[in-house]
Each structure stands twice: as C-alpha cells, then as structure tokens.
C-alpha cells in the first residue's frame, strides 16, 4: 500500500503544482473523465491549488450517474417480483422514477450489496428456489467481473442467475462530448482504471482526429497533478499526443485475459446514457448465445420506460457544460438526502463531490 504515502506526498505534489504554475501562460480547459478522479481532485483540495487559468471540467465517468433511469426502475420491478437483486453499494440510493432500491428493500425486497458479482453466484447456489439478478452497471472496468459471473454460472449449470446489464464505454462518450457544439475542452485526463483493462490503443484515433492531448491518469493526488502537468505542457507547446501517467498500472495492450472474457459474453451495441441520451456503439450488450443470462429477456421487463426529472441538469453536468454549483437546484432542492438526479448520490458523482468536499461552499 505504498501509494498511500508516495502518491499523497506533500512535497512531491507541491513540486509538480509549482511546475504547472510556471509553464501555464494561457487558459486551458481539461476534462477528467472519471468520477473517481473528480472526487480525488475535490477531496484533496487540488482545484484551488491549480493556476486560475487551468480549469478542470468534470466528465461523465460516473457509472451510477449514466445508468438510465428506466434501468433502475427495472431493478426495482425485479425486487418487487421477489427476485434477489444484488448490486454495487452506491447504486442503491439513486432515485428511480418513484423510489430507490434502498426504499424498495425497506418495503420487503431482498436486496444484497456486493463488492463482486462472483458472490452473486454463491447466493444463487444457496437459493436454488429463487431467481438472483446482478445489477451489472459500470464502464469497461467492471465488465470483466460481470462477464466472468455469467461464465461461472454457465460452467456450474446455474440456471437461476442472470444479469441486468448496462455497460457503457469511455471512447464513444469522449467522442460525443467533443462533437457537442458547446464543447470547450482542450485536453483529457484518461480514466486510469478503464485503461488498465482496455489498454491505451483505442485512444490514438481520438488524439489524431480531434488533435487533442489525452493523458491516461491515476487517482491519487500526485497522479492527478502529474497528469495535469503533462496535459498543460503539451497544450503550451502546441502538441497533441497520447501519454500514460499511470504506467505503473496501465499497459498499452491492457489486460488481455480480461478483454477475452468481456468478448466472450458481450458485443458492442447502442446504449442509452442517463442525461446524455443514446450514443451509437457506446456500450456492451449480451451476445445472442448468452441471452438466457440477460435479465431483461428473462423477466420481460424491457418495455419499462420513464421520463427524467425536468429540473435536473445532469446531462449538462455530465458533458462538462455546467459545473454542479451553477445549477439552480444545487444544495437547495437537490441534496444528497433528497437528490433530483444521480450525480448528487453516487460517490463518484460531480454534484456529490462538490456538495461534500468543495470549499467553494464555505461562505
């Protein structure tokens, strides 16, 4: 656990921050893709330590935030039908159209909070007379474990297990953001953990098509300031390259075994992003051969569709067009205890990060 000391080192971080101040001559907008990075930036107070000219724009990389509202309603419907629904923790408080998974649990639903979908397989084995569904949300990072759970179920002949999948992919989202006419982003910090799985190769086409620096970056304070430094340096020198700050974890080819597992179960298809809308070829859908593990097919819930709360500007937040504190509802009608949208709930949501940690709210 060296990263707890090395990558949170005051002197080292300060050195890099000083360098950023030295080389910055113009205004730059840099988007960190991942919600984990947003939280680390705010929680460590990095935003206030950067030069005023370097503005961080918070990206869409919060799996909870981009999971469509109707999918949450589908999970709730399953809970109400008596299915054991297993979920990652920060999904359960996100409001559906009427209530959250947590509220449905209080009304008698059998909801289990897990750290790994493989545990859901054990639950399915222990409860052969019940159906067990894993709420498989996330980016490329969580896809291998979710796919692996299906392979386990197949291998062990478990028929009472399926997944409610909503996997989304980072590169198509970056492209959608760059194509937006309001986009002001000059460089990206790439999502370190997504790249740990997928590698860095798929980002080269984006770098050359949009002439934009992409720096694959980690999550600790020192990682983040190093990533920002590399991005600012390229921008100041008029360069646009793919750089890898997180090379202690991320290899160019990614994690080949994990990619193989993903490709066995999933194929690329269209996906709806909460707050953004449908993006072509932006997610994983379950392959035909594994459809019997697809909860949407198994329980005939694919028709559930619900509208978003019109007062929530999550879409603009997720595309980096507005900051959380520029929302009229922020901290007033919308709080973590009464969220209008997912970014106020998730531990990776930009609104929650601002609400919980940001000193902007001190006065």
Partner 1 sequence: MDIENIGFETINLGHGSGGELTRNLLDKIIFKTFSNPYLDQKHDGSIVKIEGEVAISTDSFVITPIFFKGGNIGELAVHGTVNDVAMCGAIPKYLSLAFIIEEGLKVSEFIEIVQSIKKAADESGVLIITGDTKVVERGKGDKIFINTTGFGQVHPKANISVHNIKEGDKIIVNGFIAQHGMAIMSEREGLEFESTIESDSTNLNFLVNDLLDVFGDKIKLFRDPTRGGIGTVLHEIANDINKGVFLKEAIIPLEKQVAAACEMLGLDPMYVANEGVFLVVVDPSVENEVLNVMRNHKKGKNAAIIGEITNEHPNKVVMESLIGGKRIVSPLVGEQLPRIC
Residue among 22, 82, 89, 107 that touches partner 1 (CB under 8 A): 89
Residue 257 engages partner 1 in binding (rule: CB under 8 A)? no
In the block, residue with structure tokens 């399926």: 162
Nearer to partner 1, 212 or 250 (CB): 250
Binding window for partner 1 (CB under 8 A); candidates: 44-52, 178-186, 202-210, 240-248? 44-52
CB 31 within 8 A of CB 59: yes
Beta pairing class for 132-138 and 187-191: unpaired
Residue 90 engages partner 1 in binding (rule: CB under 8 A)? yes
Query: In the numeric block, which tokens belong to residue 290?
Result: 């594994």
Provide the minimum distance between the beta carbon of 151 and partner 1 in the complex, in angstroms, as a whole number. 20
How far, in Å, CA of 314 to CA of 320, rounded? 10
Nearer to partner 1, 136 or 212 (CB): 136
Provide the minimum distance between the beta carbon of 218 and partner 1 in the complex, in angstroms, as a whole number. 13
Binding window for partner 1 (CB under 8 A); candidates: 76-84, 209-217, 239-247, 352-360? 352-360
Q: Give the chain's length.
A: 363
The span from the first CA to the last CA of the chain, in angstroms, equals: 37
Provide the minimum distance between the beta carbon of 264 and partner 1 in the complex, in angstroms, as a whole number. 21
Binding window for partner 1 (CB under 8 A); candidates: 8-16, 182-190, 265-273, 315-323? 8-16
Q: How far is CA 172 from CA 60, 88, 207, in A?
A: 11, 24, 13
Nearer to partner 1, 289 or 361 (CB): 361
Judged by DSSP in three states, 355 sits in: helix
Residue 356 engages partner 1 in binding (rule: CB under 8 A)? yes
Nearer to partner 1, 43 or 239 (CB): 43
Q: Which residue stretches of the chain are H helix?
A: 3-6, 10-23, 35-43, 63-66, 69-80, 101-106, 117-126, 143-155, 170-179, 192-198, 204-210, 221-236, 256-265, 295-298, 314-318, 350-357
How far, in Å, CA of 141 to CA of 149, rounded? 14
Provide the minimum distance between the beta carbon of 138 and partner 1 in the complex, in angstroms, as a whole number. 5
Provide the minimum distance between the beta carbon of 12 and partner 1 in the complex, in angstroms, as a whole number. 9
Residue 337 engages partner 1 in binding (rule: CB under 8 A)? yes
Residue 274 engages partner 1 in binding (rule: CB under 8 A)? no
Query: In the numeric block, which tokens belong to residue 115?
Result: 């750290």
Query: In the numeric block, which tokens belong to residue 156?
Result: 């062990």
Rule CB under 8 A: which residues touch partner 1? Answer: 1, 4, 8-10, 13-14, 36, 42-49, 63-64, 88-93, 102, 112-115, 119, 137-139, 141-142, 193, 221-222, 335-337, 347-348, 355-359, 361-363
């Amino acid at each position: 656990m060296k990263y707890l000391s090395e990558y949170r080192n005051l002197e080292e971080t300060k050195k890099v921050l000083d360098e950023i101040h030295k080389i910055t001559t113009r205004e730059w907008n840099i988007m960190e893709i991942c919600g984990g990075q947003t939280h680390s930036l705010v929680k460590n107070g990095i935003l206030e330590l950067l030069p005023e000219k370097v503005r961080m724009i918070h990206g869409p990389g919060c799996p909870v935030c981009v999971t469509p509202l109707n999918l949450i309603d589908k999970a709730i419907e399953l809970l109400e039908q008596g299915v054991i629904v297993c979920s990652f923790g920060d999904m359960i408080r996100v409001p559906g159209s009427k209530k959250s998974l947590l509220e449905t649990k209080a009304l008698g639903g059998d909801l289990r909070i897990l750290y790994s979908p493989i545990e859901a397989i054990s639950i399915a084995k222990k409860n052969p007379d019940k159906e067990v569904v894993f709420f498989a949300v996330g980016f490329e990072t969580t896809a291998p474990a979710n796919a692996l759970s299906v392979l386990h179920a197949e291998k062990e002949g478990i028929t009472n297990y399926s997944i409610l999948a909503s996997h989304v992919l980072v590169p198509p989202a970056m492209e959608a953001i760059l194509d937006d006419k309001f986009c002001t982003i000059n460089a990206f910090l790439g999502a370190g953990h997504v790249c740990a799985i997928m590698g860095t190769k798929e980002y080269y086409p984006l770098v050359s098509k949009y002439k934009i620096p992409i720096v694959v970056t980690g999550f600790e304070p020192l990682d983040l300031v190093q990533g920002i430094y590399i991005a600012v340096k390229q921008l100041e020198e008029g360069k646009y390259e793919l750089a890898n700050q997180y090379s202690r974890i991320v290899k160019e080819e990614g994690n080949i075994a994990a990619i193989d597992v993903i490709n066995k179960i999933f194929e690329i298809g269209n996906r709806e992003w909460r707050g953004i809308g449908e993006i072509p070829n932006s997610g994983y859908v379950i392959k035909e051969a594994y459809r019997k593990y697809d909860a949407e097919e198994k329980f005939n819930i694919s028709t559930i569709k619900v509208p978003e709360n019109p007062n929530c500007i999550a879409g603009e937040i997720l595309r980096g067009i507005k900051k959380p504190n520029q929302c009229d509802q922020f901290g007033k009608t919308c709080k973590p205890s009464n969220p209008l949208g997912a970014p106020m709930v998730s531990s990776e949501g930009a609104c929650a990060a601002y609400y919980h940690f940001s000193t902007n709210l001190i006065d």
